[in-house]
Structure 1
Amino acid sequence: MENHNLQIRDPFVLPLAEQGLEQGEGLYYLYGSTDSNIWGTGTGFDAYTSKDLEHWEGPFPVFRPEADFYAKRNFWAPEVYAYGGKYIMFATFRRTDNDLLGTAVLASPHPLGPFTPYSEGPVTPQDWSSLDGTLYIDKQSQPWMVFCHEWQQIRDGEVCAIRLTEDLRSAEGEPVTLFRASEAPWTTPFESKRYADQLNYVTDGPFLFRSSNDDTLYLLWASFINNTYALGIARSGSGEVTGPWIHQEEALYQNDGGHAMVFRTFGDKLMLAIHTPNQTPDERPVFLELEESGGVMRMKE
């Protein structure tokens, strides 16, 4: 299957150098929101594998909920990491007990699952509507979950961080607000029919990575420009996850695409993975090369 035939939102790529059919031959594992209607009942998550980021094998079912699972709909944004001798998945679900979104942790001994619940429900705050949790390990080896406090609950969406226990199964301490959507120079209010009586700013899909040349800590996140999905980027002024976060003046990508992550190919290219367009069922994964020039991250021409 080629990229243009693959419906997926929130694409996340895990490159594994020793997972090919032959020893030393690497595979890219692609995860994402794969339900045909992501706004409805959740089926689970599928994954795909590729040697070249163009031709994909799959789908492989990597998560299917048990009958007593605590969520029935809105299965979103799985991210998978090799950690502690296993594969860890962060994923967002809408809980049935309070109808709020939250990011939970799942685990598997294999990158193609099956993944099963590892945390006791979401590790994001229980009374918050939170989504798109991503893993960040700081220089002191402290794991963090960086996530969004949803705009539908607080109007001006936030990107937040919370410390995790070493095994990633639960949170430690209180969440820290890194920034609000309205603080970025490129975002505009999001016009929502459901929330037409309030001023809305969206935060979506955070992801952190460091540059290879000067160790700058960057944070990708998505929002809207004139109601069109767009991708922004900020850098940490302190080099730490707590910031302060300095936003690039212009969006990194503003052609109806976002919820991005960054990975390195086996040829050491820095690649951006996004979905575009932002309308179901037309979303497709797109992979674009990035470069840093003069302290600014941009698409490579």
Structure 2
Amino acid sequence: MTGAFTNALFQFISTKTQTVRKIFLNILFAITCLTPVFAQQPTQKFKTDIPLDSIRVSDPFILADQKSKMYYMTGTGGMLWKSKDLKEWSGPYKVLETDPKSWMGPNPMVWAAELHYVNGKYYNFATFTNKAVKVEKDLERRASHVLVSDKPDGPYVPMKEPVYLPAIKLTLDATLWTEKDGKSYMVYCHEWLQNGNGTVEKIELLPDLSGTTGEPKILFLASDSPWSREKEKDGKDRPNKVTDGPWLFRTQTGKLGMLWTSWIYDVYTQGVAYSESGTLDGPWIQEKEPINKANFGHGMLFRTFEGKLVMSLHSHKDINGRTVRIPHLFEVDDSGDKIVVGKPFIP
């Protein structure tokens, strides 16, 4: 979710003493109060007939809505784009209506929004950050939350529970998964900036998704990855600390898998893991190599109205010293026990 520069800077900070780390973090967070480099996109004017590669958005999520026969794309920033054919899009539309009196404050940052249709309702799973509220280690309060709407294009409003996860726990990139027994779960990341080794976790949702119940469970750690890398202070490689963008799926053979993203040094990279038990409880076995080419990440899968399985994700590109995130689509084959990412998908 963050750019390569930010990721590299945090890796540098992690090699320093506690005092030096605190100084660097204070400087960095002061900078981000003025310039939200972490996730938000510049304000875009409303347009029609926009090609997908002309849209600038991180963490692109596409809902193929069977009721309206329309594709809806959202992501970081929380805005919405619409398309009938995946070729040309209109937007962005503002669809989130958060409560300014809640912990989110009047103008929260929004990361990695997702849309899910469940039992006649549409749910927006998103990460919200209130820069004015600090938790431990002087980190900004950030948490995954769920909003609801009767329509895919909103407005999405809060449900009854003001908090889904502990207020002092920095969580992000929540997604929805329903097990074969009918129980639904929020699957999310616990921020590596807080725990030092990012995790992917699950927590059970209430039947109407209006809140959580029970205790969270760690599914795997960032350090479980055999392919992600960063540098230790002595120059040796170690697994990267970042867990980002979990997305769950089943192959046509019934195998349960999870896309998730980390880094190989300063390159955003998409990985995948598979559950040996076929349930969220795992154990989760990480693939040895990334699922596709470098510089792509935060992937999710959807089927077109014609039945083709497609992966949506974004790339990073440096334009005049500024990191730009561009959405992309790839063909995917899920006929075996493991998915295979193919060529770029052209609608």
- Work out the CA distance in 1 between the residues paired with 2:305 and 2:239: 44
- Work out the CA distance in 1 between the residues paired with 2:254 and 2:340: 16
CA shift digits 1:171-213 (9 cap, x unpaired): 1111110000111111113789xxxxx985100000101112x
Tell whether 2:231 aligns with 1:201. no
Q: How does 1:261-280 map to 2 (within 5 A)?
A: 261-277=300-316
CA shift digits 1:78-130 (9 cap, x unpaired): 11111132111111012444432111110111111111111533412322111
Contact 1:222–1:231 under 8 Å retained in 2: yes
Q: How does 1:1-301 map to 2 (within 5 A)?
A: 1-19=50-68, 26-34=69-77, 45-71=78-104, 72-95=107-130, 96-97=132-133, 98=135, 99-189=140-230, 201-212=241-252, 214-277=253-316, 282-292=324-334, 295-301=337-343
Aligned partner of 2:13 in structure 1 is none
How many percent identity over aligned positions?
A: 36
AA matched with 1:290:
V
Report SS of the residue matched to 1:29: strand
AA matched with 1:288:
F
User: CA distance change for structure 1 residues 271 and 191 in 2, over 3 Å: closer, same or farther?
Assistant: farther
Report SS of the residue matched to 1:9: coil
CA shift digits 1:267-297 (9 cap, x unpaired): 1111110011176652111010111476332
AA matched with 2:326:
R
AA matched with 1:87:
Y
AA matched with 2:200:
V
User: CA distance change for structure 1 residues 266 and 190 in 2, over 3 Å: closer, same or farther?
Assistant: farther
User: CA distance change for structure 1 residues 191 and 49 in 2, over 3 Å: closer, same or farther?
Assistant: farther
User: CA distance change for structure 1 residues 119 and 101 in 2, over 3 Å: closer, same or farther?
Assistant: farther
Say what the alpha-carbon RMSD is for the aligned residues: 2.1
Aligned partner of 1:42 in structure 2 is none
User: CA distance change for structure 1 residues 116 and 128 in 2, over 3 Å: closer, same or farther?
Assistant: same
- Work out the CA distance in 2 between the residues paired with 1:156 and 1:254: 24
Unaligned runs of 5+ in 2: 1-49
User: CA distance change for structure 1 residues 148 and 119 in 2, over 3 Å: closer, same or farther?
Assistant: farther
CA shift digits 1:129-168 (9 cap, x unpaired): 1101100000000000000011101111100001111011
Number of aligned residues? 279
Contact 1:104–1:119 under 8 Å retained in 2: no
AA matched with 1:143:
S
- Work out the CA distance in 1 between the residues paired with 2:148 and 2:251: 28
Larger Rg belongs to: 2
Question: Shift of residue 63 of structure 1?
Answer: 1.2
User: CA distance change for structure 1 residues 169 and 278 in 2, over 3 Å: closer, same or farther?
Assistant: farther
AA matched with 2:224:
E
- Work out the CA distance in 1 between the residues paired with 2:214 and 2:71: 35
Give the stretch that moved more between structures: 254-263 or 230-239. Answer: 254-263
User: CA distance change for structure 1 residues 250 and 7 in 2, over 3 Å: closer, same or farther?
Assistant: same
Unaligned runs of 5+ in 1: 20-25, 35-44, 193-197
- Work out the CA distance in 2 between the residues paired with 1:236 and 1:78: 25
